[in-house]
Amino acid sequence: MIKSVCGYCGVGCGLEFDTNKLVGDITYPVNEGKLCSKGVSELISIETPSRLLRPHIRNDINNDYKITSWEKAIESIVNKMKQTPKNKIGFYLSGQLLTEDYYIANKLVKGFIGTNNIDTNSRTCMASAVVAHKKAFGADFVPVRMKDVEKANLLILAGANTAEAHVVFHNRIKKAKKKGLQIVVIDPRETDTAKLADLHLAIKPGSDIDFFNLLSKRIIDEELVNKEFVEKHVNNFELLKNKFKRVPVTKMLKRTGLSQDEFDEFWEIYKNSENIITAWTMGLNQSVQGVDKNLALINTHLLTGKIFKEGNGPFSLTGQPNAMGGREVGGLSTMLAVHFGFDKDSIEKVSKFWGTKTIDNKPGLTATQMLEANLDILIICHTDPIYHLPNRNKMEQLIKKIPMVVEINAYENSETAKFAHIRLPAAPWGEKEGTQTNLDRTITKQEKLTRSSIDCKPDWEIFQLLAQGLGFGHTFNYNTPKEIFEEYQEMTKLSDHMNIHEANYDDINAKPFIWGEDIIAKKEFLTPDKKANLFFVENKLLSEKTSLKYPFTLLTGRTRDQWHSGTKTNLPKTLLKYKELNFCEINPIDAMELGIVDGEEIKISSTRGEIISKALITKDIREKCIFIPVSNREINYLTNDLCDKESFEPDYNHSAVKVEKV
């Protein structure tokens, strides 16, 4: 029996592999034996015929790929890189990579190639939370653990659909509810999560800042502020208080679409709850004002002192299995490594550690900027930007201009594969080992369960081959992921708050390591003055406006059994078809107005593109909103590429669209 961990979502469930079968690990604290359908079927995805098993190459994307050898493929990439100025090189990574993959890629690109053009799909996912954590707490630190829901009296879920996106955590929430936990869900849709709630607030999309500002104002006006906590641990209180004296309360409430009675009902629950957790995900992060939405939410916890205490705190739910680990290592182009920035002192420390002199002091291109930057070579690993970036017609035109696109993938049917020149076959989950950090800072290890397919290599080895080809073999000569992890652990000693060096690679499976618990115990924020910062933010209404021509707001999101583009879950052999891949939720009143019947084919279009879907008429969605799941691979032909100006995360959720009969 081998213990490992699920490679899908940020919950990070422990599992056991025994004679070709996967079961939940009952001794593992995160999931206590439970798994969702994705975790259970990980093995099926290893054996599917759509695996990419050989390196492929072609000169032109209009030609077919030809099989090539690893030597020739790596040589072509290395030769091209050597001829390319470093600012024309880009690396596009993923929150699904293991920590060792992330570490080695970051060391190669930032440390030795000397460009910071290395970013990840976490940009489209967690970047708004990362920036807000840094601004409010001084570092990208999540101060809550999943087990805290058992100690909370109230759980507010804002723009998070745990029933579909964090399934095993959702089960835990259900269990806590039976023991008295109250739940409020803030979501324009009545999701399965909202159906579980004591109160569902179906707010208008894009109005969360107004909602949380109304809450902060009420906290101040009705003297629910924890004065002692604020005095000792929080900056900017007087400023915020003064600002809130002049906010247009009626207008703000109107923008949320909630009635005064609904808000008052919420307030009654809120003010009578001793321990409160507010969790959020893409409904807030994926926004042109994503950072501000996070800050408005965090303010409520700083004002009430409901943080750094069991059962309390603002809880950003990470989506991908190792998005958190990637952020720690420094996988974003806007940070260096181990939560460092590009200041002189940080660069000096990291340069000394890596033994290099080439680190650049300017942040690199973000994932959302990379295709527009006229790069000469783009290396994409473990993610499918043509599928996931917004405004896909534009992205397709841009990627076609890049002379060399390299895709490292374990499957052959990504959307990006249509635009690549070289494809390298990666060993997927089950064929490799390495560590990941889940959404509550628990570090665990994926184990190799079967041998790697002959020509597939773990992602870290592929980056190492590139490094060696580029002449950096002296410092890229690792034999195992353990060696990489241990070097990374040494590096975390440079940071004053990352105690990851205390973990032990060999027993991490039996004893998962939770970093950062000392930070909570000390109750000290990670800013220079050890105090958290309040920020006054306002809803600037920056999303695309609906119009007579495009009267609907498009919402997009997850369904329980599918994983994004579906290379691992939309398989003939899986039983995972709990929902259609392609449907469009529309309210009965809107459907009637348009003469659309349930199940009918409909055309959805924006100024950027159009797709065909099937109407699913349901009262679960607000009028003038529609919802299309991300398992529809074409979703991003519709979406807008507006981004938050600080986090560069796209406004995926609020594009203006029209709906027509076909």
Binding site for ligand MGD (CB under 6 A): 9, 94, 96, 121, 124-125, 158-161, 164-165, 186-189, 191, 203, 205-206, 208, 281-283, 286, 319-320, 381-384, 387-388, 408-411, 414, 426, 428, 459, 555-558, 560, 562-565, 567, 630, 635-636, 639, 652-653
Q: Which is nearer to ligand MGD, 112 or 652 (CB)?
A: 652
**Both tokens assigned to 384:** 């499918």
**CB of residue 456 vs ligand SF4: minimum separation in angstroms?**
22
319 touches Mo ion by CB under 5 A:
yes
Q: 252 to each of 200, 382, 547, how far by Cα in Å?
A: 19, 41, 21
CA nearest 393: which of 600, 543, 610, 237? 610
Q: Which is nearer to ligand MGD, 270 or 354 (CB)?
A: 270
557 touches ligand SF4 by CB under 6 A:
no
CA nearest 372: which of 334, 390, 406, 399? 399
Q: Which is nearer to ligand SF4, 12 or 205 (CB)?
A: 12
Piece in contact with ligand SF4 (CB under 6 A), picked from 8-16, 427-435, 621-629, 638-646: 8-16
Q: Which is nearer to ligand MGD, 5 or 635 (CB)?
A: 635
Q: Which is nearer to ligand MGD, 555 or 657 (CB)?
A: 555
**CB of residue 15 vs ligand SF4: minimum separation in angstroms?**
7
DSSP 389-436: SSSHHHHHHHHHT-SEEEEEESBS--SGGGG-SEEEEBP-TTS--EEE
Torsion of CA 615, 619, 620, 622, to 10 degrees: 90
CB 436 within 8 A of CB 444: yes
Torsion of CA 528, 534, 540, 546, to 10 degrees: 100
**Amino acid sitting at position 21:** K
6 touches ligand SF4 by CB under 6 A:
yes
Task: Compute the distance between CA of residue 221 and CA of residue 215 in angstroms, rounded to an integer.
Answer: 10
- Contacts of Mo ion in 71-130 (CB under 5 A): 125
Task: Compute the distance between CA of residue 314 and CA of residue 337 in angstroms, rounded to an integer.
Answer: 24
12 touches ligand SF4 by CB under 6 A:
yes
Q: Which is nearer to ligand SF4, 31 or 122 (CB)?
A: 31
The total of other beta-carbon atoms located within 10 Å of residue 515's CB is 21
Task: Compute the distance between CA of residue 315 and CA of residue 147 in angstroms, rounded to an integer.
Answer: 12
Piece in contact with ligand SF4 (CB under 6 A), picked from 34-42, 331-339, 415-423, 624-632: 34-42
136 touches ligand SF4 by CB under 6 A:
no
Task: Return left, alpha or beta for 338; rule: phi > 0 is left, psi -120 to 50 is alpha, else beta.
Answer: left
Q: Which is nearer to Mo ion, 481 or 650 (CB)?
A: 650
Q: Which is nearer to ligand MGD, 111 or 319 (CB)?
A: 319
3-state SS of 78-89 is HHHHHCCCHHHE
**CB of residue 164 vs ligand SF4: minimum separation in angstroms?**
10
Task: Compute the distance between CA of residue 334 and CA of residue 363 in angstroms, rounded to an integer.
Answer: 5
* Residues pairing with 280 in the sheet: 158, 316
Between the two ends of the chain, the Cα-to-Cα distance in Å is 54
- By CB under 6 A, name the one of 77, 146, 167, 584 that touches ligand SF4: 167
Piece in contact with ligand SF4 (CB under 6 A), picked from 32-40, 146-154, 389-397, 401-409: 32-40
Phi, psi (5° rounding) for residue 405?
A: -115, 125
Find the residue with minimal CB distance to ligand SF4: 39
Piece in contact with ligand SF4 (CB under 6 A), picked from 30-38, 125-133, 409-417, 650-658: 30-38
Per the listing, tokens 């790929």 go with 65
**CB of residue 297 vs ligand MGD: minimum separation in angstroms?**
10
Q: Which is nearer to ligand SF4, 169 or 637 (CB)?
A: 169
Question: 35 touches which of Mo ion, ligand SF4, ligand MGD, none (CB within 5 to 8 A by kind)?
Answer: ligand SF4
Task: Return left, alpha or beta for 355; rule: phi > 0 is left, psi -120 to 50 is alpha, else beta.
Answer: left
* Mode of pairing for the β-strands spanning 404-409 and 118-120: unpaired
CB 49 within 8 A of CB 573: no
Q: What string marks each residue from 35 to 74 as x (binds ligand SF4 by CB under 6 A) or -? A: xx-xx-----------------------------------
Q: Which residues bind Mo ion (CB under 5 A)?
A: 125, 319
Applying CB under 6 A, the residues found at the interface with ligand SF4 are 6, 8-9, 11-13, 31, 35-36, 38-39, 167-168
